[in-house]
Amino acid sequence: MTADLERQLATRRAEVEALTERLVMARGRLSATMARNREIRAHTTHPRTDSLQEAIRSRDVIGQAKGILMAGGLSEEEAFNVLRRASQRAHRKLAVIAEEFVRRTAKTAPAWADGEDPLADARRAAAEMDGHRAALALLAAQRAEAVRRALAGGLSRSDVARSLGVTRQAVTKLLAGRGDP
């Protein structure tokens, strides 16, 4: 090899070593930046993600509250309307009302539900639910009778609906369920 070629090789080696050193430093900075970004992302939430998670949680708790009311004999629409009216009367969000309702219902577990015999607990729950259904049927009959008396006293269906806090269609449905016009 000639001296000129050796100088060129030495220059190239020096350039490669300098580039290698710069590459190692750049990789180190990149690793540090990526680690810092991961840490920031771990401690930061995106507002859109937060609102979606809140919407899902709200939907779940409203569904639970509707389910409890439906177990008492209401239709899905009636159960939602009960929650909606409670929300409007209290001037609070529907999800908050539903969450409080579910929490209170869960706290008032029947005394007989000891958890030791799930089959016996389920039978007792079914018997209690039958009692609730009978009470709701009696309440519906009493409400229909009150509506009939109010109509016989000269009130319109609209007046009766307003006094009960329901729609005129609900009054009509209540009377139709009892075989009245």
155 and 122 fall within a common domain: yes
8 and 21 fall within a common domain: yes
Distance (Å, whole) CA 97 – CA 93: 6
162 and 143 fall within a common domain: yes
170 and 135 fall within a common domain: yes
Distance (Å, whole) CA 180 – CA 67: 30
88 and 118 fall within a common domain: no
Q: Own/partner pairs for 56-60, CB < 8 Å, 24+ apart?
A: 57/95, 58/94, 58/95, 58/98
Which residues fall within 8 angstroms of residue 162, CB to CB, at 6 or more apart?
Answer: none
Could you tell me if 157 and 172 are in contact, meaning their C-beta atoms sit under 8 angstroms apart?
yes
| Residues found in the chain | 181
17 and 37 fall within a common domain: yes
Q: What is the DSSP letter of 115?
A: S
pLDDT tens over the chain, length 181 residues: 688 888 888 898 888 888 888 888 988 888 888 888 888 777 766 666 667 677 777 788 888 888 888 777 778 888 888 888 888 888 888 888 888 888 877 665 555 555 566 666 666 666 666 666 666 666 667 777 777 777 788 888 888 777 777 777 877 777 776 544 4
* Structure confidence at residue 113 (pLDDT): 55
Which residues fall within 8 angstroms of residue 65, CB to CB, at 6 or more apart?
Answer: 79, 83, 97, 98, 99, 101, 102
Domain containing 36 equals 1-44
Distance (Å, whole) CA 51 – CA 129: 37
Q: What is the DSSP string of 88-102?
A: HHHTS-HHHHHHHHH
The CATH number of the domain where 88 resides is what?
1.10.10
100 and 152 fall within a common domain: no
* Structure confidence at residue 122 (pLDDT): 63
104 and 131 fall within a common domain: no
135 and 72 fall within a common domain: no
Distance (Å, whole) CA 55 – CA 57: 5
**What predicted TM-score, i.e. pTM, was given to this entire model?**
0.38
In the three-class reduction of DSSP (H, G, I as helix; E, B as strand; rest coil), residue 45 is classed as: coil
Number of domains observed in the structure of the chain: 3
118 and 177 fall within a common domain: yes
Domain edge (last residue) among 66, 88, 108: 108
Domain edge (last residue) among 60, 79, 108: 108
124 and 163 fall within a common domain: yes
Distance (Å, whole) CA 108 – CA 167: 31
Strands annotated E in 40-155: none
